[in-house]
Chains A and B, each alone.
Chain A
Amino acid sequence: MSQAKPIITFENVTKRFGKLAAVDDVSLTVNEGEFFALLGPSGCGKTTLLRMLAGFEVPTEGRILIDGQDVSNTPPNKRPINMVFQSYAVFPHMTVADNVAYGLVVDKVAKAERDRRVEEALSLVQLDGLGGRKPDQLSGGQRQRVALARALVKRPRVLLLDEPLSALDAKLRAQMRTELCTLQEKVGITFIMVTHDQDEALALASRCAVMNKGVLQQVASPNDLYEFPSSRFVADFIGQVNLFEGVLAVDEQDHAVIRAPDLPVDLFLDHGVTGARGATLWAAIRPEKIELHKKTGETPPNLGDAPAGTNAVAGVIRHEAYLGGSSTYEVEIAGGRRIKVQRSNLTRWDQEDFALGETVWLCWHACSPAVLLS
């Protein structure tokens, strides 16, 4: 993966169903060997994009290239791509082995070779010895493995996964997540996954594309998506966030100040902002990047990277959710705005200091807010 070689390219792809544009002018490149995730709320067009790649839908405008070849109008059975369906779509009237062999029979692979590859594929997904079973004798997780084996046995250039973990229970989901990762490293095939679950996308993907209402919002690594979102939509969709609308009051080379009506203090940033002074913008602060201190006096805590009177505000804990490893709080500040804060429970007692109704200080580093222009 040192040099990125494009394998899939969407060129200004639009898909309209009637008047509605399900996918609106999407341009996107997926590189060889990537685990790529298409992420977005339901109805954002991510599944339509995947189905166009598989060949079940034809783009209204634009082109789709696989290995540089235009496949926009190629039928699904002629594409070097295989798919794991959300419902798994395992043929109920065939045994597991026949399901896996289906694509090889179509390709007229000789019997001996076929049997060998089916066995290999089944052992790859840890279904050794279950080839004779019928799908109704399998659990949901096993059926998914059959669907995986059936697609991988064809040695596709790209494997598509439509909401691969959505039908599994929580425990199995966590297990399959790890297994999918291992599997992808083992077979070295490019995986493209559609999901509405941001945790899933962040955990699995090497790169994610976030979509909303048919439009591509941001394409980035999970880390960049979380820490450097490009818009309020992405910041809000990926994880939790506190958004403050404000105007740029100071904008220098090495620092900037945002004045937000919701906050009684100024937001001090340790970097300049490329934006017009006085323009509306948004500061996004993740809950875990806000520190919670017990209020013992009138002097706010200072983290040392912002002038006094900025980046710290007093409030009252109005809501608390204990999650074991961490706790989340909603703290009401002067003016009534509630701020989400997440705090790791570092010792076995310290969450007791932050009970409901407690007055606390909130403060954050000058580098913590992400500035959003849209």
Chain B
Amino acid sequence: MEQSWKQAKAVFAAALAAPLAWLVVFFVAPMVIVWAFSFGQNQGLTEIAISGTFHNYARAIAPLYLQIFLKSAWVAGLTTALCLVLGFPVALAITFAADRAKTWLLLLIMLPFWTNLLIRTYALIAVLRTEGYVNMGLEWLWKGGGALAALVGLKPLGAFQPLELLHNNFAVVLGLVYVHLPFMVLPLYAALDRLDRSLLEASLDLGAGHLRTLLRVVVPLALPGIASGVLITFIPALGAYLTPDLLGGPDSQMIANVIERQFKRANDWPFGAALSFVLMYLTFIAVAIQAVLAKRTPEARG
């Protein structure tokens, strides 16, 4: 099985050629073009002169855009943290569920992927808007409470004020957490499921309670899984476009929305390209940090 590619160069080359060509034509080439654009400037409506200027990058890290980068990182970070807090117990529960239930629970986690993101986001709008299901439910409770208050002779509660749940940062984070939770749960589950159960039993056997076992044994050993879950959640959340666009308000635009505007409405491709590459470099840095951390933490072997 351990046959080296060196012994079958022709076969290896044949197998590699098609995917390699695909990657070059549809991934590397467009990236290089966009990268080149980032060093150019507009000439007229459609012409771009690649002059080697760093002007676009200078603009990209100007305070106005830097702020949006920071805000995007903050929103993505908050999303990741919430996903971790929510996802860890879920992953733990699935790990310890009966074998038959496990399959179904994992299916439930993956089910949202089968629905288009746009449709899911519109569904969220229907839930969150002023006349949405949340406010309808609250209003029903409010009225019920009011009737109850009247019944026991308290003064009425007054008119129901619907909560502003949509078109603000809250809605964006909620939407991002909703979309990205499976990305967190799956790697966490993979890490926890690999854990040698006898390690947990050993901890209990030595007198530790469940909480200590969780904090001293489970979490440290699941650290590589936590790191990959964090990364795999943070990166797409950082570049999120649709969710802030549809659920956010005027102050909740993220960097991807700015990039989109440069390419479309502002028709400033060179600047949009520069912003894209700054975002990409940030992502690389995040991956590099994760790789360094992963090297430091010991392998979670039994």
Q: A residues within 8 Å of B by Cβ?
A: 54-56, 75-78, 81-83, 85-87, 89-93, 102-103, 106-107, 134, 136, 147, 150-151, 154
Contacts and interface: CB of A to CB of B under 8 A. Distances in A.
Given A93-B220, A136-B298, A154 B207 contact: yes
A92 B206 contact: no
Given A103-B206, A106-B208, A89 B298 contact: no
B293 to A, nearest CB: 14
Interface in B191-248: 196, 198-199, 201-209, 212, 216-217, 220-221
Contact of B217 (A78, A85, A91, A134): A91
B268 to A, nearest CB: 51
Interface residues of B, number: 23
Contacts of B198: 85-87, 89
A96 to B, nearest CB: 14
5 contacts: A77-B208, A82-B206, A89-B201, A106-B206, A134-B298
A136 B206 contact: no
B212 A92 contact: no
- Across the A-B interface, give the 7 residue pairs with the lowest CB-CB distance, nearest first: A103-B206, A89-B202, A89-B198, A106-B207, A76-B204, A85-B198, A93-B220
Interface of B: 196, 198-199, 201-209, 212, 216-217, 220-221, 297-302
A102 B206 contact: yes
Given A82-B206, A106-B207, A106-B212, A92 B301 contact: yes
Contact of B298 (A55, A76, A77, A93): A93
Contacts of B202: 83, 85, 89-91, 147, 150
B205 A54 contact: yes
Contacts of A102: 203, 206, 208, 216
Nearest to A153: B206
B216 to A, nearest CB: 8
Given A77-B207, A154-B206, 19 more contacts: A54-B205, A76-B201, A77-B208, A77-B209, A81-B205, A82-B206, A83-B202, A89-B196, A91-B202, A91-B203, A91-B217, A92-B298, A92-B301, A93-B300, A102-B203, A103-B207, A136-B298, A150-B206, A151-B206
A55 B212 CA distance: 18
Nearest to B200: A89
Nearest to A162: B198
B302 A89 contact: yes
Best-buried of B207, B221, B299 by chain A (most CB within 10 Å): B207
Nearest to A134: B298
Contacts of B297: 93
B301 to A, nearest CB: 5
A179 B42 CA distance: 82
A150 to B, nearest CB: 7
Nearest to B207: A106
A147 B199 CA distance: 11
A31 to B, nearest CB: 23
A131 to B, nearest CB: 17
